[in-house]
Amino acid sequence: FLLSPVRVPPSPKSRGSARSCSDTQPLPGGTITLNSTDPFAAPLINPNLLGSPVDRAVMREAVKTARTFVTSPAWEGFIESEFGDFANTTTDAALDAVIRANADTVYHTVGTVAMGKGGKGALDAYLRVRGTVGLRVVDASAFVSSCFCFVQQERALNLALL
């Protein structure tokens, strides 16, 4: 997740705007490890954001696309300029450095808890966590796509009422 601000003309109601770019399907590669033998201690979590050249290329192209979008004729008069760290980036290397310095996570968007048939995946078709009793995942991590969230929320509610 990345915000890239643009300057808009001054007005009583507006001081600025931002584009946001997200890689909702980064390549795997992060780690979660134990921090100590204390079961209540927080684990060490390294999401390895932008750890893959592919992930870096996705974010770089997302920023370039957002730049193209806001510099189109439709935005003329609404946007003065880009500002902040992004304003002076003209090379891919500079853009990569600014992305790395400013990127953050939006946690799990969708699809981070796999469903699968025949024992594959953490969840079964009824959103139950395999190997547990009475535990279901009823949040967007169980959803295949954010487009289907409302439909799947309805299904999850119906399953919970069974």
- Reported as a single tens digit per residue, the pLDDT across 82-140 is 777 888 888 999 999 998 888 877 665 666 777 777 777 888 888 888 889 888 887 77
pTM of the model: 0.59
User: Confidence band (pLDDT; 50, 70, 90) for 44?
Assistant: very high
Whether 49 has a pLDDT exceeding 70, the answer reads yes
Give buried/exposed letters for 42-60 (b at 16+ CB in 10 A, else e): eeeeeeebbeeeebbebbb
For residue 4, the model assigns a pLDDT of: 53
| Chain CA centroid to CA 157, Å | 25
